[in-house]
Amino acid sequence: MAERDLANGIASTELEEGRIVAGTLDGQDVVLVRHQGRVCALSGICTHLKAPLADGIVADGTIRCPFHHARFDLATGEAVDAPAFAPLDRFDVVEEDGKVRVAAAAAGEPSASGATPSVGRVVIIGAGAAGHACAEMLARHGAGASVTILDEEADAPYDRTFCSKQYLAGKAERDDLTLPGLDGVDLRTGVSVSKIDRDAKSVLLGTGERVPYDTLVLATGAEAMRPDFYGADRQDVHVVRSLADADRLIAALDQAGAAVVIGSSYIGLEVAASLVGRGLTVSVVSDADLPLEKTAGPEVGGMIQSLHESKGVTFHLGRRVARWDGHGAMLDDGSQVAGDILVAGLGAKPRTMLAEAAGLVLADKTAGGGVQVDAMLRTSDPAIHAIGDIANAPDPRLGHPIRVEHWVVAQRMGQWLARHLLGQTDDAYDAVPFFWSGHYDLSLRYVGHVESPEDRHIDGKVADRDFAVTFAEDGRDQAVLTAGRDVFALEQEHRWERD
């Protein structure tokens, strides 16, 4: 079908309220949406990873990306919800004589209304997804000079999701991982925080310097769980959590032809797919009976296993590594798996050391662990908030707190907290959790949260990679995992938002 030249115009009757109409202007993809009677024209490609917005949905004054659920304001083009940060281009529209015509790119950015309220001194510990998103939103609204970020990693803020996917697979350069800059923010990388002094409302750095705060934001994230078998301390044993981890693993691949991956959950399988893409022979060892079974159920787990096997991956399920010598892994049944490197994808644990030492209330490990926060993401000290992987926060739909380690969840927590500090919202944090996972040419979207996949209903054919698995908790639908059904995932997310 030929692309529609929007400079020539389309019939006004085609633009029903809330419908997305796609076309081009001077070769650029553009989408048109009639919103509250006004026709909005925006660039048609998501600024995150270039998904076609024409395949998304319109909801609550936003257009939503079908791939990673970024949201853009229809009137202004602003990226109002991560993972996108850059706005969409806007275009002038002329509607007359029964036709809608896109004229040219709109001049300038919409001006912000009102003065920026004082947020006091905001200190953020951690520059990962949550910390960066919080600082970026504060800076976007003119409060960057009030923000200090303290991060122990030497690198500027980067997109951690690339570490096990595009960057590890060789499909992205290192510079592609960099997150947007933080205008006016005092970003300090390569620094450690040794203590939180709640009485003095300051944090003590490893250098002895004190940094005072009015509001402290803990965004310390999680760290990779390390294996404990004999030989686990060797230099050829890797984890993939940080950019430095990915750099180290990529450097080791030059001398490797075969890899052993421990773990068959999302991170382990993403690493396996990336290493296959690098030309390595890959074996996966897992104590699970099926990949992803504990989160996605046996049907999806079986399909995922078959997909990876079709790419040459060998699975050793129901097994553990007992010993590693740099040439191969001995499993707990005495069998041997050859490999030049070993990568452990065993999950992560929240980095709560600072919070615990400061006397903040932690959540019980049986409830997910982390730092206990209320509906406003406040810890037991009202001057301290916790966001991202460490935050164990109330979920209004489930009726109990949860802690999830999803990139977009962490970003949206950070953005919500920034808006709260700016006085833009007094509503409780209630975002619906979302994450995605890529395996070769298959993309999975997961919306919502349940503790167990046991109560599930499958619509479609899992083997054909066209399905939606709906999971219930206490008899109520609370999560959905999809493949090939991007619009359904977006619509279900929107329905749960409105519950």
Each residue's pLDDT tens digit, 334-386: 999 999 999 999 999 999 999 999 999 999 999 999 999 999 999 999 999 99
Burial class (CB in 10 A: 0-12, 13-18, 19+), 279: exposed
Size of the chain in residues: 499
3.50.50.60, 3.10.330.20, 1.10.260.40, 3.40.350.10: which CATH number matches 122-223+349-421? 3.50.50.60
Q: What is the pLDDT of residue 114?
A: 62
Residues 264, 282 contacting (CB under 8 angstroms): no
pLDDT tens digits, 18-28: 999 999 999 99
Q: What is the pLDDT of residue 390?
A: 98
Question: Where do we find the tokens 């997305």?
Answer: 20
Which whole number is the average pLDDT over 485-496? Answer: 98
For residue 108, the one-letter residue type is: G
Burial class (CB in 10 A: 0-12, 13-18, 19+), 13: exposed
Taking the C-alpha atoms of residue 238 and residue 233, their distance in angstroms, rounded to an integer, is: 9
Residue 116: pLDDT over 90 = no
- Domain 228-344 bears CATH identifier 3.40.50.300: no
Q: What is the pLDDT of residue 109?
A: 60
Taking the C-alpha atoms of residue 133 and residue 370, their distance in angstroms, rounded to an integer, is: 20
Q: Could you give the residue ranges of the DSSP H alpha helices within 154-254? A: 166-169, 243-252
For domain 441-498, the CATH class is alpha beta
Residue 112: pLDDT over 90 = no
Which whole number is the average pLDDT over 156-164? Answer: 97
Taking the C-alpha atoms of residue 63 and residue 48, their distance in angstroms, rounded to an integer, is: 14
SS3 state of residue 92? strand
Residues 157, 132 contacting (CB under 8 angstroms): yes
Q: Could you give the residue ranges of the DSSP H alpha helices within 178-329? A: 243-252, 266-277, 293-296, 298-310
For residue 37, the one-letter residue type is: G
Strands 476-483 and 442-448: antiparallel
Quickly list DSSP for 441-491.
TEEEEEEE--S-SSSEEEEEEGGGTEEEEEEEETTEEEEEEEES-HHHHHH
Q: What is the pLDDT of residue 1?
A: 47
Q: What is the pLDDT of residue 305?
A: 98
Rounded percentage of the chain residues whose pLDDT exceeds 90? 96
Taking the C-alpha atoms of residue 216 and residue 382, their distance in angstroms, rounded to an integer, is: 9
Which whole number is the average pLDDT over 254-265? Answer: 97
Which sequence spans correspond to the domains of the chain?
Answer: 10-105, 122-223+349-421, 228-344, 441-498
- Domain 10-105 bears CATH identifier 2.102.10.10: yes
Residue 284: pLDDT over 50 = yes
Rounded percentage of the chain residues whose pLDDT exceeds 70? 98
SS3 state of residue 213? coil
Which whole number is the average pLDDT over 34-39? Answer: 94
Selection from 391, 396, 477 nearest residue 431 by Cα? 396
Distance separating the N- and C-terminal Cα atoms of the chain:
39
Instruction: Judge if 122-223+349-421 and 228-344 fold alike in CATH terms.
Output: yes
pLDDT tens digits, 291-321: 999 999 999 999 999 999 999 999 999 999 9
Taking the C-alpha atoms of residue 186 and residue 149, their distance in angstroms, rounded to an integer, is: 6
Which whole number is the average pLDDT over 237-250? Answer: 97
| Contacts for 174-180: CB closer than 8 Å, 24+ residues apart | 174/243, 174/247, 177/243, 179/85, 179/132, 179/136, 180/85, 180/86, 180/136
Which whole number is the average pLDDT over 238-248? Answer: 97
